[in-house]
Structure 1
Amino acid sequence: MDLSGVSIVGLRAFREVAEKGTVTAAAVALGYTQSAVSRQLAGLERAAGTALLERHHDGVRLTAAGRVVLRSAAAALDLLDAAARELADRPASAGPVRLGWYPSAGAILVPRALAALRRGHPAIAVTTREGSSTALVRALRAGTIDLAILASAPPFRPPDSESPPLKRRTLAERGLCVAVPAGDPLAAGDAVHVTELRGRAWIAGPKSAGENPMGVWPGLDERPRIAHTARDWLAKLHLVAAGAGITTVPASLAPLAPPGVRVLPVRGGPDERRRIILAWLRTPLPPAAARVAEAIEAAVAEPA
């Protein structure tokens, strides 16, 4: 294996494909054609002397050799980016920090943390992106984000089985509730029994590969009838207010429910808890990323 002649463009293309899971999505993100990305991948595999990716009908997966090359590629690209910041006279404490977050974290948690950072550490430049926990874990492995706020459901397994393990910190554990129209019979009590959820129309997020649709009660003992699909949590809640269906919602988002919506716990089934987890790969965390992690932890601890 001789990677000495590999181009930076090739490393970036490989990292993007590893994160996005498809050549098409990587090409769109990079602004290249699919053939250009494929050529970069082919050159990298020739230099490595082995296959780095397994091609499947639904995308690509890293081989064992690919995971080794990805770790080195991410480290090399991080060093180049750090050198660029140093040449631009930007201190390490000034960032940038790339933060990923699962959808509902953007309603309260992320804005609260960013506001605190602007007050206490205005030199830190934070860029953020929303994504499913699965996509954010891939981004951490690819080195395209520094920190990720993930959601975890029972039995609370590690985010993935890759090596080295991601570093994790549990920030909170909270209950999952359902949001129902205020005029619905379900809203008459202080809780909803799980059997009352049968046959209801659900408002759910787009289904990701390997994940259940967000917005449907996990313990439902029937195939859900999804009436509306929406990625945005506020849109889901307004659809509930309009009587279009019901949806699940973290207990922490109850204060954001618009008029006409009741957020209630569910009884009679397994206790559906959700953990908020902060994850990262690089250790020790650079100073700016460490400040962002502290701000996130403080934001979670604040009362709703």
Structure 2
Amino acid sequence: MAQPEVSLRDLRSFLAVVEEGTFTDAAIALGTTQASVSRHVGALERTLGMRLLQRGGRVVTVTTAGRRVLRHARASVEEARAVVRAAHDEGREVRVGYAWAALGAHTATVQREWARRHPGSELTFVNTTTRFAGLNEGTVDLAVVRRDPGVSQIATAALGRESRMAALPAEHELAGRRSLRMDDFADRTVALDTATGTTTTDLWHPDRAPGSWREVRGTDEWLTVIAAGRAVGLTSQATAAQYSRRGVVFRPVRDAPPVEVLLIWWREDPPSVLEELLALVREAYAG
């Protein structure tokens, strides 16, 4: 059986009467006539097959059914407003997702420069633990990743490269060194985020590979495991620049391959700010 179609106009009229207390005041708030408000509320009640408002008296009251509908009506109207805002807010806020460390030491620099060039606009970095850093969920316009998604619908562009750092428990025997080599991970337990992290098992020669792997999800769990002395880690320098955790020290790994930083977006729907943002971030990495 098909569900009845509910009109946003009818919901707005219903909410206005509830909030204002009378049909007359609701009409004033909506900039329309009392007859129009009454018609839309009546239409909503007929669609739902129940009385939502109790007429009579100086102030209209909400029925039991009306109270059940009220919360959902408010959510629906607010969602419709959000759709309109999203359509008109392009350029006012640019949302960039990231799974681990945004742009590392360059994050604040890029945000400040964007604000200088675009007064009234905001460049917002949004943390997520998903593979596409919020792009697939529709919560961001673009995303910074350090692993090519390998999906044809998603376009990628290189932003720059970052060296790799070891993350060690502060009391670890290697923490006193100024730098490490990949061989220093041999026979140790390495914390590994297989979904979004930059470390993969094929970085090591089989003869010098870590002894075991401890799977984690996201930066916070990764840092917690290392601080507790349960594992060591290998990450990009951006993680070391953007995060500090008591009990964790970072050391450069001299012979580790660099990490390529990528910007991703939907190929068929590139944001209007794409080229300018690309140039700005590449400038920061080059500098």
**What pairs up with 1:87-102 in 2 under 5 angstroms?**
90=88, 92-94=90-92, 96-102=93-99
**What pairs up with 1:239-250 in 2 under 5 angstroms?**
240-241=226-227, 243-250=229-236
Count of equivalent residues: 205
The structural deviation recorded for 1:176 is 1.8
Letter in 1 for 2:231: G
**What is the CA–CA distance in structure 1 between the aligned matches of 2:110 and 2:117, rounded to whole Å?**
11
Q: Structure 2: any 5+ residue segments left out of the alignment?
A: 6-79
Seen in structure 2, the aligned counterparts of structure 1 residues 217 and 118 have a Cα distance that, compared at 3 Å, is farther
**What is the CA–CA distance in structure 1 between the aligned matches of 2:125 and 2:235, rounded to whole Å?**
22
**What pairs up with 1:192-207 in 2 under 5 angstroms?**
192-205=180-193, 207=194
**What is the CA–CA distance in structure 2 between the aligned matches of 1:196 and 1:144, rounded to whole Å?**
40
Seen in structure 2, the aligned counterparts of structure 1 residues 213 and 297 have a Cα distance that, compared at 3 Å, is closer
1:36-87 per-residue CA deviation (whole Å, 9 max, x = no partner) reads xxxxxxxxxxxxxxxxxxxxxxxxxxxxxxxxxxxxxxxxxxxx99x9359x
**What is the CA–CA distance in structure 2 between the aligned matches of 1:149 and 1:197, rounded to whole Å?**
27
Q: Structure 1: any 5+ residue segments left out of the alignment?
A: 1-6, 8-79, 153-157
The answer to whether 1:297 aligns with 2:282 is yes
1:245-273 per-residue CA deviation (whole Å, 9 max, x = no partner) reads 321221244445557644234467xx432
Seen in structure 2, the aligned counterparts of structure 1 residues 112 and 236 have a Cα distance that, compared at 3 Å, is farther
Which of 160, 184, 198 matches 2:150? Answer: 160
The structural deviation recorded for 1:178 is 0.9
Which of 107, 114, 117 matches 2:111? Answer: 114
**What pairs up with 1:212-227 in 2 under 5 angstroms?**
218-219=203-204, 221-222=209-210, 224-226=212-214
The structural deviation recorded for 1:182 is 4.3
1:183-232 per-residue CA deviation (whole Å, 9 max, x = no partner) reads 42223434334343233244444x43xx7785979426356242x84623
The structural deviation recorded for 1:151 is 0.5
**What is the CA–CA distance in structure 1 between the aligned matches of 2:156 and 2:134, rounded to whole Å?**
11
Which 4+ residue blocks in structure 1 deviate beyond 6 angstroms? none
Residue equivalent to 1:274: 259
Seen in structure 2, the aligned counterparts of structure 1 residues 144 and 176 have a Cα distance that, compared at 3 Å, is same
Which of 148, 163, 179 matches 1:175? Answer: 163
- Measured on the aligned residues, the alpha-carbon RMSD in Å equals 4.4
The structural deviation recorded for 1:121 is 1.8
Residue equivalent to 2:15: none
Seen in structure 2, the aligned counterparts of structure 1 residues 299 and 212 have a Cα distance that, compared at 3 Å, is closer
**What is the CA–CA distance in structure 2 between the aligned matches of 1:184 and 1:201, rounded to whole Å?**
12
The structural deviation recorded for 1:284 is 8.4
Q: Secondary structure at the match of 2:162?
A: strand
**What is the CA–CA distance in structure 1 between the aligned matches of 2:121 and 2:267, rounded to whole Å?**
18
Which of 243, 251, 257 matches 1:264? Answer: 251
**What is the CA–CA distance in structure 2 between the aligned matches of 1:245 and 1:197, rounded to whole Å?**
10
Q: Report percent identity of matched pairs.
A: 19
**What is the CA–CA distance in structure 2 between the aligned matches of 1:93 and 1:194, rounded to whole Å?**
44
How high is the TM-score relative to the length of structure 1? 0.50
Residue equivalent to 1:84: 84
User: Are 1:146 and 1:282, in contact at CA under 8 Å, matched by a contact in 2?
Assistant: no
The answer to whether 1:187 aligns with 2:172 is no
**What pairs up with 1:23-42 in 2 under 5 angstroms?**
none
